[in-house]
């Protein structure tokens, strides 16, 4: 399993499909784009921004239920990619018992954001759908060590957006099955 960080959600052009972006925290920095539905994109955004509404929405309710039941969301893992559909699992502990619950990645991440839980992806999923975003190296007169180049997350996200604007479905090869998000 590879630890990931949530870069955020954005709308992919020209399809207007919401996209959840996860990036490796170490290693090559691969980015995992996951097409999600609009309500889940809004839920993730509300979680990131800590936006509260008058009455709890689904993911807020789930977080409250975990808390009241004394359960802990230990981790979320994007486990599989089949027929262009991503799968995830949530690991939950209650006392000394551990439970694994199947979930859509968007729902699992929306809950993970609220619970401040680590997010992971399987190496197989990253190999199949991860994208390496090339970041131009900055030159410095004071330092000849290229290993210390800092990567601006906004620049990385801009470059990824450019990649999304140019990518075509055929770039990923033939796909069997449905084209439903996640």
Q: Which CATH class is domain 2-134+151-170?
A: alpha beta
Where do the structural domains in the chain lie, given as residue ranges? 2-134+151-170
112-151 burial, b for 16+ CB within 10 Å, e for fewer?
bbbbebbbbbbeebbeebbeebeeeeeeeeeeeeeeeeee
Helix, strand or coil for residue 110?
helix
Spell out the per-residue pLDDT of the chain, length 182, in tens: 999 999 999 887 777 889 999 999 987 789 999 999 999 999 999 999 999 888 989 999 999 999 999 999 999 999 999 999 999 999 999 999 999 999 999 999 999 999 999 999 999 999 999 998 765 555 444 444 444 445 555 666 666 666 666 655 555 544 444 445 56
């Amino acid at each position: 399993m590879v630890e990931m960080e949530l870069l955020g959600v954005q709308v992919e052009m020209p399809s207007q499909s919401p996209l959840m972006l996860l990036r490796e925290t170490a290693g090559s920095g691969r980015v995992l784009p996951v097409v999600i539905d609009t309500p889940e994109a809004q839920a993730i955004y509300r979680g990131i921004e800590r936006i509260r509404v008058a009455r709890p929405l689904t993911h807020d309710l789930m977080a409250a239920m975990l808390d009241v039941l004394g359960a802990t969301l230990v981790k979320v893992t994007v486990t599989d990619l089949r027929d262009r559909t991503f799968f995830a699992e949530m690991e939950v502990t209650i006392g000394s018992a551990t439970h694994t619950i199947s979930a859509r990645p968007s729902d699992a991440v929306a809950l993970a954001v609220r619970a401040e839980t680590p997010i992971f992806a399987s190496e197989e999923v990253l190999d199949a759908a991860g994208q390496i975003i090339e970041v131009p190296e900055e030159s410095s007169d004071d330092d000849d060590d290229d290993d210390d180049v800092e990567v601006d997350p906004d620049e990385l996200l801009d470059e990824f957006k450019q990649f999304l604007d140019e990518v075509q479905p055929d770039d990923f090869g033939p796909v069997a099955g449905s084209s439903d998000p996640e």
